[in-house]
């Protein structure tokens, strides 16, 4: 049984081998933390986006979509606070010359203590049968000790981050005796702030051209279009604007595959509400979003909320939905009650009113905002890593299978003639024609049927339709289920209905 690190490596290798994800610019040795999605990856990604869009825009009459440009007026990033405060605290090791995020070094240290707790608990569970009181007490004491350490470090760390105390962060790294993983030394520089936005020049002449930024989030495009959408769509509060698009961050510690990339995609929704009603809507969106995740059929124990205790100065509530990735629970989605901060700042910087006239109260005001923000790529990694399994079969062989939720799977059905003769390929082509307008299907006649089934398992195709001798006599085929590997015989003309039933496109 692979440990988590090995498992993660296998997942990355599988994603490449089966055309899901390739390193960017691979023939030039790649570009750090940038990835390309292959023929199956792009389908899975599109299906995730469609699943989100349907749940947000199609199912909510008061949410509409938007596609704003990546380039925006540079003052937007002044108003949003990104020019002055979208920073990561960096620290260098003087011996290895490697650069780290100070906050990540501390969080990794906390994670290591958490791992120790998990190990103790696992050990205790294994010895449960002959677990006596003495053992209980010593395990308990160790776990309590570790927990106390975590609480102390977390409290000090949160306070330093809140006060932006860079010298204090450095001191905490030294006090915790954190060493550079490369050089093994604790020879650290001061901590400095590093802005995460990529910038470029607009216009053909560099001098006199304005510096503009590649957007680090899609949300600001929504805020600056708030009145355009509200007026042209005759939207009444509460209402939401949803957007899917690329975002760019010059991440220093870009690692863990597509979990942290420099170019990634976000699915964000800003929900505009009456002042005073934001916490009610915050709770509503917490419930809606966790339900969306669970509608995919991934068991609930893979998700948890992490409520923020220390809030950004503009927020009055915030939580992360964390997912159990192969490297532990990490943020997958953020839900934030952002008050009227962003719209007010854009009023201030643009000099234009961004107010809503409320016909019920006869008042004009700047609405409050609850935001849900999820990374497409992180969602991809969550689904993909959960789906990846190596299974031992009854006959002693193993198979690698991607148990992707059927509605997200790239290929919905493979159509396979049992052999390449006797009119079976022609019949299989007829079935392709019957299905391909509604479902992305794949025709495959190469190799023995068992190998073709394994290949579709590895791609995550939920159904294989096989044309055999009997098909030619009575127009029936077998349909094989990826997860149970069971096969049933059905009439060809029933196939579209059967697939529609099995692949309900949105599980909500």
Phi, psi of 266 (to 5 degrees): -120, 155
> What is the x/- site pattern for ligand ATP, positions 338-377, by CB under 6 A?
-----------------------------------xxx-x
Task: List the Cα angle 37/46/282 in 5-degree steps.
Answer: 115
Q: How far apart are CA 68 and CA 248, in angstroms?
A: 15
Q: Which is nearer to ligand ATP, 35 or 356 (CB)?
A: 35
The residue behind tokens 């509604």 is 438
Nearest distance from residue 202's CB to ligand ATP, in Å?
Answer: 24
Rg (CA), the chain: 26
CA 139 vs. chain centroid, Å, equals 36
Binding to ligand ATP (CB under 6 A) within 377-396 occurs at: 377-378
Q: How far apart are CA 166 and CA 159, in angstroms?
A: 11
Burial (CB count <10 Å: 0-12, 13-18, 19+), residue 350: middle
Q: Which is nearer to ligand ATP, 251 or 481 (CB)?
A: 251
Burial (CB count <10 Å: 0-12, 13-18, 19+), residue 70: middle
Sign, CA dihedral 352-355-357-361, equals negative
Determine which residue in the list 215, 260, 427, 452 makes contact with ligand ATP, applying CB under 6 A: 260
Q: Could you say whether residue 332 binds ligand ATP (CB under 6 A)?
A: yes
> What is the x/- site pattern for ligand ATP, positions 24-53, by CB under 6 A?
------------------------------
Q: How far apart are CA 262 and CA 159, in angstroms?
A: 28
Determine which residue in the list 77, 264, 285, 463 makes contact with ligand ATP, applying CB under 6 A: 264
Q: Could you say whether residue 331 binds ligand ATP (CB under 6 A)?
A: yes
Q: How far apart are CA 46 and CA 383, in angstroms?
A: 13
Determine which residue in the list 261, 290, 343, 479 makes contact with ligand ATP, applying CB under 6 A: 261
Nearest distance from residue 25's CB to ligand ATP, in Å?
Answer: 18
Nearest distance from residue 270's CB to ligand ATP, in Å?
Answer: 13
Determine which residue in the list 108, 251, 277, 288 makes contact with ligand ATP, applying CB under 6 A: 251
Contact of 290 with 301, CB cutoff 8 Å: no
Nearest distance from residue 353's CB to ligand ATP, in Å?
Answer: 28
> What is the x/- site pattern for ligand ATP, positions 288-327, by CB under 6 A?
----------------------------------------
Give contact residues for ligand ATP (rule: CB under 6 A): 217, 249, 251, 260-261, 264, 266, 331-334, 373-375, 377-378
């Amino acid at each position: 049984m692979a440990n988590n690190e090995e498992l993660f490596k296998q997942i990355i290798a599988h994603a490449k081998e089966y055309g899901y994800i390739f390193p960017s610019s691979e023939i030039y040795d790649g570009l750090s933390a940038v990835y390309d999605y292959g023929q199956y990856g792009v389908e899975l990604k599109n299906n995730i986006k469609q699943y989100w869009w349907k749940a947000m825009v199609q199912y909510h009459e008061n949410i509409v979509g938007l596609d704003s440009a990546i380039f925006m007026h540079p003052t937007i990033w002044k108003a949003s606070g990104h020019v002055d405060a979208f920073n990561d605290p960096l620290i260098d090791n003087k011996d290895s010359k490697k650069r780290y995020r100070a906050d990540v070094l501390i969080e990794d240290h906390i994670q290591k203590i958490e791992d120790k707790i998990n190990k103790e608990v696992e050990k205790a569970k294994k010895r449960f049968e002959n677990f006596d009181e003495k053992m209980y007490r010593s395990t308990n004491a160790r776990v309590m000790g570790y927990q106390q350490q975590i609480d102390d470090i977390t409290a000090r760390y949160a306070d330093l981050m809140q006060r932006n105390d860079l010298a204090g962060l450095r001191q905490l790294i030294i006090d915790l005796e954190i060493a550079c993983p490369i050089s093994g030394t604790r020879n650290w520089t001061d901590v400095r702030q590093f802005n995460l936005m990529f910038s470029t020049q607009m216009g053909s002449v560099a001098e006199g051209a304005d510096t503009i930024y590649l957007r680090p989030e899609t949300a600001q495009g929504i805020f600056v279009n708030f009145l355009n959408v509200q007026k042209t769509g005759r939207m009444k509060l509460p209402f939401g604007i949803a957007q899917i698009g690329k975002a760019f961050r010059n991440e220093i510690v870009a690692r863990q595959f597509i979990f942290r990339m420099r170019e990634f995609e976000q699915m964000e929704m800003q929900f505009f509400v009456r002042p005073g009603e934001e916490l009610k809507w915050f709770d509503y969106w917490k419930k809606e979003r966790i339900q969306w995740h669970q509608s995919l059929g991934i068991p609930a124990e893979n998700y948890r909320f992490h409520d923020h205790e220390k809030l950004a100065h503009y927020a009055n509530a915030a939580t992360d939905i964390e997912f159990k990735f192969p490297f532990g629970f990490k943020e997958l989605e953020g839900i934030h009650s952002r008050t009227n901060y962003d719209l007010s700042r854009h009023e201030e910087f643009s000099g234009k009113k961004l107010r809503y006239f409320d016909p019920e109260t006869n008042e004009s005001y700047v609405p409050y905002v609850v935001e849900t923000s999820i990374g497409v790529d992180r969602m991809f990694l969550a689904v993909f890593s959960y789906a990846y399994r190596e299974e031992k079969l009854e006959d002693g062989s193993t198979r690698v299978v991607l148990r992707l939720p059927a509605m997200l799977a790239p290929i919905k059905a493979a159509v396979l003639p049992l052999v390449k003769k006797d009119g079976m390929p022609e019949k299989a082509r007829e079935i392709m024609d019957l299905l391909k307008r509604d479902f992305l299907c794949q025709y495959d006649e190469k190799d023995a049927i068992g190998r073709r089934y394994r290949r579709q398992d590895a791609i995550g195709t939920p159904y294989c339709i096989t044309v055999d001798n009997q098909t030619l006599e009575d127009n029936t085929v077998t349909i094989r289920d990826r997860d149970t590997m069971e096969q049933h015989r059905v009439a060809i003309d029933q196939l579209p209905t059967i697939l529609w039933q099995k692949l309900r496109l949105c599980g909500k």
